[in-house]
Amino acid sequence: MKLPLEDFKHEIFSLREEETDSRYGKAPKDRSISERINYGFILLDKPAGIRSKTAAYIAKNIMTGLGAKKMGYSGTLEY
Amino acid sequence: MHLHSEVDEQLLRDTFDKFIGKIMQLPPVRSHVKRQYRQREIYYSDILEINGRDVLFKVGVESGTYIRKLIHDMGEELKVGAHMVELRRTKVSTLSEKDNLVTLQDLDDAVYFYEKENDDKLLNKCLDSIESAVDFIPKVFISDGAVDPVCRGSPLAVPGIVKFNDFGKEEVVGIMTLKGELIALGKAVMSADEIKSFKKGIAVKTDSVIMKIDTYPKYEKIN
């Protein structure tokens, strides 16, 4: 029971080899929790009966204490 | 799915099999798309449980398939009518409910433990990096010098691109650093093949910027 694109891997074309300066930015896997609060992603199990927007709003309110500034959501199930 | 009358189980299973593959579907009266028949593909459809008139099933469909309508159409096919009672998304692209799915209560608990007891174990599980949300879209990886302009919303030109996935014109692409951080989402002005053959020109128009300005320095300061 697999969707057609479930195991899809994007092919990579390289134009040139280039190094990246380790002084700037940070690879996603090295990000600390406090950094992930503003560059994070939550897979939320939304309860039935409330709107996605409301769920995102509640989640944002929970996270604002930690310094989260913005939160949005994606994925519509109906409509 | 709730059937409006008793149905023979074999007939029900046969009808489910009929609705696998390409089907034609008319969007519901209240919908956000034009109401005309369109083709959608049903990849699989499995009955998990039958309890009297209630049927629990799992279905994998192409994006833009209305499940409420699918159930309605199956009800018509069975000549008894049916309607949808509950719907749950179990997976989408690379994400599934087997991953770290969190409820609002889980999140609240995790934040409490992190704030009050300095325990980051739960929050670590809840919070994934933003890149995992865009796993499925094609990407372009750009050199350090091009990061700052893109952060400020400027479009991405060919010389800034180091490597890229295959994509067509007008497709949504993720603009990434060489470290794999998401900078912004944009719309492809050139297809991947055009990027290979052109030396200059705008390749991707920046739509929404995720990375903060000043994460990477201005171009002049790098050299």
The mean pLDDT of B133-159, rounded to a whole number, is: 93
The answer to whether residues B16 and B75 belong to one domain is yes
**Per-residue pLDDT for B223 more than 80?**
no
Lowest mean pLDDT among A17-21, B112-116, B127-131: A17-21
Inter-chain contact A44–B128, Cβ cutoff 8 Å?
A: no
A63 part of a folded domain: yes
CA distance A61 to chain B (A): 10
The answer to whether residues B16 and B43 belong to one domain is yes
Inter-chain contact A44–B101, Cβ cutoff 8 Å?
A: yes
Q: Flag whether residue B54 sits within 8 Å of chain A, measured between CB atoms.
A: no
Which residues make beta-bridge pairs with B141? B163, B176
The answer to whether residues B157 and B83 belong to one domain is no
CA angle (B149 as vertex; B144, B153 as ends), nearest 5: 135
User: pLDDT for B7-38, tens place per residue?
Assistant: 999 999 999 999 999 999 999 888 888 899 99
**Percent of chain B, pLDDT > 90?**
77
User: pLDDT for A15-73, tens place per residue?
Assistant: 888 888 888 888 888 888 888 888 999 999 999 999 999 999 999 999 998 988 889 99
How confident is residue B176, by pLDDT bands cut at 50, 70 and 90? very high
The answer to whether residues B118 and B82 belong to one domain is no
Strands B128-129 and B54-61: unpaired
Q: In B, which residues are within 8 Å of A21 by CB distance?
A: 144, 222
How many domains does chain A divide into? 1
The answer to whether residues B137 and B102 belong to one domain is no
How confident is residue A79, by pLDDT bands cut at 50, 70 and 90? low
A19 part of a folded domain: no
The answer to whether residues B79 and B30 belong to one domain is yes
Q: Flag whether residue B166 sits within 8 Å of chain A, measured between CB atoms.
A: yes
How many domains does chain B divide into? 3
Say which CATH number the domain at B172 has. 2.30.130.10
Domain that holds residue A55: 44-74
A58 part of a folded domain: yes
Label each residue of B18-57 as H, E or C.
Answer: HCCEEEEECCCCCCCCCCCCEEEEEEEEEEEEEECCEEEE
The mean pLDDT of B45-55, rounded to a whole number, is: 95
Fill in the amino acid letter for B217: P
Q: Cα Rg for chain A, rounded, in angstroms?
A: 18
Residue A2: the pLDDT is: 79
The answer to whether residues B139 and B75 belong to one domain is no
**Percent of chain A, pLDDT > 90?**
30
Domain that holds residue B13: 2-88
Residue B32: the pLDDT is: 83
The pTM of this model reads 0.83
What is the rounded average pLDDT for all residues in chain B? 92
Inter-chain contact A33–B138, Cβ cutoff 8 Å?
A: no
